[in-house]
Amino acid sequence: MIVPSLPGFGFSSPLRRADLNFGKIADLWHTLVTEVLGFEKYAVGGCDVGALVAGQLAWILQRWLKWSAAETVYSKDELLTHAMIYWTTNTIGSSIRTYANNVRYSWRPSHDRWPVVEAPTGLTLVGHENPPGVLTPEARVRHFRESDRARWYNRVNVRAHERGGHFIPWEIPGEWVEDLRRTFRIARASRD
């Protein structure tokens, strides 16, 4: 298992280049896994891509409270630990800049094939991030499958859960791991 830190986030160091976005980071990781480490095949699982200490803590807490059921999932020590990782590594600025770069340098496919993301893809959708009017896991899956985004992916597994928020692996770890395993089983079976 390879667990890299996003460039400019957490256990990384502050970025020296200002143009990184999630698409370019994905390219860097592909190079790391295939060319540097020598793997021909690999699978990926991921979730969220994550001034003064008080301001930084307020910024992180605001997102955790808005994007998840933070008060029932995280202890105060866990929240402070997460904030301190950004503080001690001086990566809060570059981590925030990555979000802006996703707009500034939006990703464009290097090909015109459909689906654009050809790799077998699994999605875990959660109740705390349901769009307005979507109230059940079944409706959430249906809403995604009927959206314009759905056709971008080679979807092999789309699951929704009533519980959970933006930080899925931390909030509903058992369900997330099962969704990953199910996606990988389906992908493995489809190539055999």
Q: Check pLDDT > 60 for residue 126.
A: yes
Element (H, E) at 85: helix 76-89
CA distance 157 to 184: 9
Q: Which pLDDT belongs to residue 70?
A: 65
Helices (H), the chain: 22-31, 53-67, 70-73, 76-89, 92-104, 137-145, 168-171, 173-191
Q: Which pLDDT belongs to residue 37?
A: 93
- Give the domain ranges of the chain: 22-104, 117-191
CA distance 49 to 60: 12
Q: What is the pTM of this model?
A: 0.71
Q: Which pLDDT belongs to residue 56?
A: 65
Choice between 53 and 84, residue whose per-residue pLDDT is larger: 84
| Residue type for position 112 | D
